[in-house]
Structure 1
Amino acid sequence: MHFSQCQDKEEYVHAVFSSIAHRYDLLNTALTFNLDKHWRRFAVNQAGLKPGGKGLDVCCGTGMLALEQARAVGLSGRVVGLDFCENMLAKAVENIRRTPYHGVIELIKGNAMELPFPDSTFDCATIGFALRNVPDIKRVIAEMCRVVKPGGRVVSLELAKPGIPVFKQLYYIYFNYLVPLLGRLGVGLSGPYQWLPDSLKEFPHQSEIRDIFAGAGLADAHYYELTGGIVAVHIGCKA
C-alpha cells in the first residue's frame, strides 16, 4: 500500500488503530503466542532506566510498554506515554488503572513527529511496534533523540525481516495469510490486520534502521534480533 502524502498514512493508521483498540492487547498476545511480553521486557532492559528515572514511550498505544518502563523506574519514577489515537489512550487508561503504577504514568495525546517536550527531558525514549506506522521514520527518531538527555538511550521494538532459511518462509506464510485471517475473526473487520503484513513489506530492513539511528547522531547504534529475527530491538545512545 502506497501513500502519496504523509497525512494520508497518518489518517489511515489512526483509523486502523481506532477500530482495533478494544481487542488490541488480546490479539497481540494470541498472535505472538504470548511472546510480546518477553519482547517488551527485553526492550526496556536495553533502555537503561534506573529507579526514580524518567522515561518516554512514543506511540504508547494501550500502555503496555509504558507499564514496562514504570516497573523499571518504580513508584518514585515517572513515565510519559504519548499517542495520537484517543481510543488507544482510553484503553491505556483502563490497563494502567489496574496496576500500582497509575500514579507513575502520565498519558498525553500528541504526535510522534512533533514531540511536545523540551530538549533533553527524559532518560530514555522507547517506541514499540509503531515505527513502521509513522509517516517519516527519520524525523521520529530525530525527535526521540532530541528529547532524551545526553547519555540517554533511544530504543525501538519493531517487527523485522527474518533471514533464516525455511523458518523465514514458514513465518511469512503465517504472517501474510494467517495473521490477517485470525485478526479478522478477532475484530470482525478485514482491513486492520491486513495492515500488519502490508506495513512490513515497505519497512526498511533492520540494518537500515540501525543506519537511521546512527544518522540521527545516536552513538553505538546496534540491534538485537529476537525469536529468529521476526522482531528487532534497536538501541542508540545520545552523545
Structure 2
Amino acid sequence: MSAKLSLEEKFKETGGKKPYVRRLFGRIAGIYDLMNRLMSLGLDPYWRKRAARYLALATGETGLDLGAGTADLSISVIRNSGSDTHMIGMDITPEMLEVGEKKLRRMGLQDRIELRVGDAENIDLPDNSVDGCCSAFTVRNLTNIGRGFSEMLRVVRPGGRVVCLEISHPPGKIFGTLFYLYFYKLAPLFGTILGKAFEEYNYLPNSLTTFPKAPRVKEIMEEAGWSDVRYYYLNGGLVAIHVGTKPE
C-alpha cells in the first residue's frame, strides 16, 4: 500500500485528517522542540527568524500565528518586530499550547503572546482583525489548503501580509536525493530512538509526499486572493517561505 493510501486509511480510522493530526501532535508535544532541532540539524531557529522578518510587524501591531504549537514562531516574531507588538497563537492541539504557555512564562512573554485553541481552516476572529498572519510547518497538515489561505485572507487587514514557512521539495536532483534519504529514512529513526514515536515521525515526511511544490503553493495562494505572492527557498530548498499581501 502506498504512503498516501496508508495515511488515508489512518485518517479514516480516526474520523478524518484533522482529528488524526490533533492526536498525533498531542502525543509528541513533550519532545516536539527537541525533535525540530535535531531533524533540522539546528536550522529550525534560523528558518523561523527569517519568516518572522518577512512578517515584520510594526509598533503596536498584532499578528496571528496559526498552528502555533509551542510558540516558537510567535516568539521569533516578537523578537524581530517593533516594540509593543502582540501575537495571537492558535493551534488545534491543547498539549502543544500547554508546552508553549510554560515557555512564555519562563521568558516573560505571556503578556505579549496569547495562546488559544483554534482551527486554521475556521479562524475564530473577525474580518480584517489582525495586521499579519504567519505559520510554520502548518499548511501541509490542513485538510483543505485553499480554505486555509482564504481564512487567512479574511482575518488580515488590507495591506497586511501572510508568511508561511514550510518543508519543501528541493529542486536539485543530487541534493533532492540526499534530502529524501534523510527526511524519509533517518528522521523516523530519530523519532523512534528518542521518543518511541515512529508513527508520528513517519507521518511528518509522508505528509510532504502529497504536499504541493512551492510553485503550486504560490498558485493556491493567488487563487485564494493573495497578491504579490512570492516564495523563497532556504538551504537549497529544504524549506520555502511563502509570502503574500492582502490587496488594499
Question: Is 1:183 matched up with 2:195?
Answer: no
> Is the contact made by 1:221 and 1:236 (CA closer than 8 Å) also made in structure 2?
yes
Q: Secondary structure of the equivalent of 2:114?
A: strand
Instruction: Please name the residue that 1:79 is paired with.
Output: 87
> Is the contact made by 1:54 and 1:73 (CA closer than 8 Å) also made in structure 2?
no
Instruction: Please name the residue that 2:65 is paired with.
Output: 57
Unpaired stretches in structure 2, ≥5 consecutive residues: none
**Deviations for 1:40-67, whole angstroms, at most 9, x for unmatched residues?**
0111111131122110000101100011
> Is the contact made by 1:59 and 1:128 (CA closer than 8 Å) also made in structure 2?
yes
Taking only aligned residues, the RMSD between alpha carbons, in angstroms, comes to 1.5
Q: Secondary structure of the equivalent of 2:89?
A: strand
1:35 to partner: Cα distance? 0.4
1:189 to partner: Cα distance? 2.2
Matches within 5 A, 1:19-98: 19-73=27-81, 76-98=84-106
Distance 2:53 2:210 in 1: 28
Number of residue pairs matched by the alignment:
239
Distance 1:23 1:74 in 2: 31
1:16 to partner: Cα distance? 1.0
1:190 to partner: Cα distance? 1.6
Question: Is 1:131 matched up with 2:145?
Answer: no
1:152 corresponds to which of 136, 146, 160: 160
Instruction: Please name the residue that 1:171 is paired with.
Output: 179
Give the letter aligned to residue 17 of structure 2.
K
**Deviations for 1:74-105, whole angstroms, at most 9, x for unmatched residues?**
55221100011010010110111111322100
1:209 to partner: Cα distance? 0.3
Sequence identity of aligned pairs in percent? 37
Unpaired stretches in structure 1, ≥5 consecutive residues: none
Give the letter aligned to residue 18 of structure 2.
E
Distance 2:122 2:194 in 1: 33
Instruction: Please name the residue that 2:115 is paired with.
Output: 107
> Is the contact made by 2:74 and 2:89 (CA closer than 8 Å) also made in structure 1?
yes
Distance 1:215 1:189 in 2: 37
Distance 2:77 2:25 in 1: 22
Give the letter aligned to residue 80 of structure 1.
I
Return the TM-score normalized by structure 1.
0.96
Distance 2:99 2:83 in 1: 22
Distance 1:100 1:209 in 2: 36
